[in-house]
Amino acid sequence: MSILEVNGLSHTFADKQLYQDASFRLNKEDHMGIIGQNGAGKSTLIKIITGQQLPDDGQIKWQNGCKIGYLDQYAQGAHDLTVFEFLKTAFAELYRISAAQTKCYEDYAETMDEKLMEKAGRYQEQLEANDFYEIQTHIEQVMAGLGLDAIGKDHKVSQCSGGQRSKIILAKLLLEKPDVLLLDEPTNYLDTEHIEWLINYLNSFSGCFMVVSHDFDFLERITNTIIDVAFGKITKYTGSFKSAIKQKEVKKEVQLKAYEKQRQQIEKDEAYIRKNKAGTRSTMAKSRQKRLDKMERIDPPSDAQQAHFNFPYIELMSAATLTVEDLSVGYKSPLLAPVTFSMSHGEKVVLKGFNGVGKSTLIKSILGLIPTFGGTAKFVEATKVNYFTQDLEWDNNMSTPLQLVQDLYPKLEPKTIRQRLARAGLNAANAMKPIKLLSGGEQTKVKICILELKPSNFLIMDEPTNHLDDETKAALKDALIAFPGNVLLVTHEESFYDGWIDKVFDVESIRLSKK
């Protein structure tokens, strides 16, 4: 049974054809993953099917009465409520029923009208059927599952970090228990433990869902169907992520063979036509020309633009590069016990810990961007730091990538900038679009490209893999491995750093362990 039918969908975004006459269905039992390169149109597809954006053409038809829950990758939710108060709004309808029941009791005390007691009884049945009296327990369970108990239920949502707010909004969405969940990059701000909890939750979810994610291990464990958004087409595959990739490769091979066979036949026919169009076999030549004119040409399999990164290195002649001693960090009060560690030349270290525990704050304190409560952080003289921040924020989000790089490096020729952006995986058209129109992955590529233009010997990367597709992650990983200098990396993706990192610094327990 179809919950959603998408028929004949066509849409162009900023001169790029995202979909051309695409159709698919979301069935009641589907646990669907949405995959595709950065900028392919995955998030736009979610916006179209939720009615936030109108397509150029096509029909979107939801089952009548279907309750939809949606989380986008840029969720903000800046509310002047506490975390617990905000999560309680997931049960607004039940609280409305409870208030109506209370009103029935109050009115009955004045009128003694038995109909009011009957009405209150019906309200009671609704409340009990929907676990109204277990709301606090449900909220606490979801908070613990997503790591929100570390923030505290009395903390103001408006005072939370972007990652924390995303988790809070996800928690509210799960508590609402919609018929369909639409999740855009839900693991971006989740740690391994909380991703595991979300996997278990989704696997036991009674409804259907669509999940956009570049975390392929996550997709493999939660999906039974995949749609691939690529080159104007939306292709649906039955099975898990790995099964879909195998099916896609087989389909690509079949298409390539059919293309090559047709290409050879076309070349053969064209040669025959050239040789015989004026001779005794001209009639046969004309017949073959008509056949060629009517032939539906098979396209060769398309290949996405690949990213290639390289961080230029400045020689540093020193055994030690960074020394941190008794550094106490935080804003209104210390977030961590005093931190002490050091890094020697060429060492690559991961900062690990739950979101909100203070990893980004520690980095900003080390760089001197925010004041500390005590202690010191010193780089050796001649250290040149390159810093990647996890936030996709720009001074002018109407500037194009070309303009952004030109403003930072005015001596660079536009042609050179275009070449550097292309190496980062950004095509010529996207280099000329306002940055706000690019996907999260494309914006991240621009940020990495800007880092590449500044030679350094110490890279600090705060969640650089958020929003990136698997191919771009691999390119970034190769570049970090090849970089001769230091790397201080914050990431929740162990698969990204496993096998090449030297040490893991567990921020929560303040310990440094060798990998």
- HEC string of 139-172 equals HHHHHHHCCHHHCCCCCEHHHCCHHHHHHHHHHH
Across the chain, mean pLDDT equals 88
The 3-state DSSP class for residue 469 equals coil
**d(C-alpha 153, C-alpha 150), whole Å:** 9
Q: Are 342 and 324 in contact (CB under 8 A)?
A: yes
Residues 356-366 have a mean pLDDT of 85
- At 157-168, the pLDDT tens digits run 887 877 788 888
User: CA triplet 448, 452, 454: central angle to 5 degrees?
Assistant: 125
pLDDT band for position 513 (cuts 50, 70, 90): very low
Pair of tokens at residue 381: 């003289």
Inform me whether the pLDDT recorded for 216 exceeds 70: yes
**d(C-alpha 306, C-alpha 263), whole Å:** 26
pTM: 0.70
Pair of tokens at residue 364: 């900003």
Residues 187-194 have a mean pLDDT of 82
**d(C-alpha 43, C-alpha 151), whole Å:** 29
**d(C-alpha 482, C-alpha 478), whole Å:** 6
DSSP state of 384: -
The 3-state DSSP class for residue 42 equals helix
Of 27, 34, 67, 32, the C-alpha closest to 50 is 67
Inform me whether the pLDDT recorded for 262 exceeds 60: yes
**d(C-alpha 287, C-alpha 42), whole Å:** 45
**d(C-alpha 115, C-alpha 104), whole Å:** 9
Inform me whether the pLDDT recorded for 65 exceeds 70: yes
